[in-house]
């Protein structure tokens, strides 16, 4: 009897780790080095990935076959995105080299050398121009049609991000001190204004009509301000506070909600009208990123080595990497999640 109990106990111990394991990925793409970004093309038949070792790669989304490689000479990739409905690939590395390449054969179509490592690399809505900003504060708008430099601007060296205005008549950069620098693209005129929030500013996101701006800070504050593009109107009109630095915040599609995540191990979903959290998703470590599904009914988040799926405040699935998760996205039907990690893999999970 004792022997039977011992054998039963050993069987339970042996099975316990298997029961606690993450589900198997439907597809695993192994890379040489940590993966810094990944995305599907428009019809989700191919996957674009990029690594810290200077490789940009295209894979079959069905078979996992490597279809194409674009080399940046070993320089860590900072950005890699699809353009022209998947016909072209835009990539950049820490040396400041930016390439526009054919997605069919990898042939270089255009190239630019920026003054330093890019921290912003954003196409305009029509994908005819590219906004760039480097760590040194060198900013430019580059033509994606003929490669010409359409506009140059000098941001403070401490600038930490840049975006187009909604109508693309302005480019805006901001600093950790809370200053916003905005340049009129036609005239080159610059206006500078400050946000009233306290603490180091970590990021900004304007509303679709540019009438409000979302700001997040090292203090844990996430605030919404009214703005006219040349100033901010007084105090915050809404906001919540995390208990640690805020990693990022995003608007919902109708801009009635904000989702923010932070070093306090939480994701908060909160009402802009009321400034109160409606859902709090609690993790075991600080949250690196989060996304709504296309219907904005479920949430995908990643923290430490895990990728989480949430329905309301209930965690209904968790996927595991062997090293820190770097990012994750939903597919268009919200039936799969793709995640990438410093473990050198891109993984696609059925949900």
Give per-residue pLDDT as tens, 284-312. 999 999 999 999 999 999 999 999 999 99
What is the strand order of the sheet 238-241 is part of? Answer: 201-206, 212-217, 221-226, 238-241
What is the chain's length?
Answer: 351
Residue 197, pLDDT > 80, answer no
Q: Average of pLDDT values for 169-179? A: 97
Rounded to 5 degrees, φ, ψ at 109 are: -100, -40
* pTM of the entire predicted model: 0.92
Render pLDDT for 262-283 as a digit per residue (tens, 0 to 9).
999 999 999 999 899 999 999 9
Render pLDDT for 26-84 as a digit per residue (tens, 0 to 9).
999 999 999 999 999 999 999 999 999 999 999 999 999 999 999 999 999 999 999 99
Render pLDDT for 112-126 as a digit per residue (tens, 0 to 9).
999 999 999 999 999
């Amino acid at each position: 009897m004792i022997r039977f109990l011992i054998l039963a106990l050993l069987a339970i111990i042996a099975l316990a780790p298997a029961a606690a394991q993450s589900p198997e990925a439907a597809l695993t793409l192994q890379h040489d080095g940590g993966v810094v970004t990944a995305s599907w093309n428009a019809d989700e038949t191919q996957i674009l990935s990029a690594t810290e070792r200077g490789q940009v790669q295209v894979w079959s989304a069905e078979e996992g076959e490597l279809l194409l490689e674009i080399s940046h000479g070993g320089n860590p990739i900072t950005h890699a995105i699809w353009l022209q409905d998947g016909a072209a690939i835009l990539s950049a590395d820490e040396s400041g080299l930016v390439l526009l390449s054919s997605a069919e054969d990898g042939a270089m179509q255009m190239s630019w050398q920026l003054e330093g490592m890019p921290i912003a690399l954003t196409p305009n809505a029509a994908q005819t121009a590219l906004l760039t900003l480097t760590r040194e504060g060198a900013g430019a708008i580059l033509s994606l049609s003929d490669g010409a430099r359409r506009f140059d601007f000098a941001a403070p060296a401490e600038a930490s991000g840049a975006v187009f205005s909604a109508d693309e008549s302005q480019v805006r950069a901001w600093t950790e001190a809370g200053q916003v620098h905005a340049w009129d693209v036609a005239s080159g005129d610059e206006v500078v204004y400050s946000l009233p929030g306290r603490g180091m500013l970590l990021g900004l996101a304007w509303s679709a009509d540019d009438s409000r701006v979302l700001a997040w800070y090292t203090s844990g504050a996430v605030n919404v301000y009214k703005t006219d593009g040349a100033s901010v109107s007084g105090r915050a009109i809404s906001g919540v506070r995390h208990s640690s630095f805020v990693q990022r915040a995003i608007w919902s599609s109708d801009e009635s909600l904000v989702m923010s995540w932070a070093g306090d191990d939480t994701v908060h979903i909160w009402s802009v009208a009321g400034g109160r959290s409606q859902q709090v998703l609690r993790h075991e470590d600080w949250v690196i990123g989060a996304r709504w599904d296309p219907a904005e009914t479920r949430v995908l988040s990643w923290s430490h080595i895990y990728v989480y799926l949430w329905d309301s405040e209930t965690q209904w699935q968790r996927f595991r990497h062997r090293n820190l998760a770097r990012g994750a996205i939903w597919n268009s039907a919200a039936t799969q999640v793709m995640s990438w990690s410093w473990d050198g893999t891109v993984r696609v999970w059925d949900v």
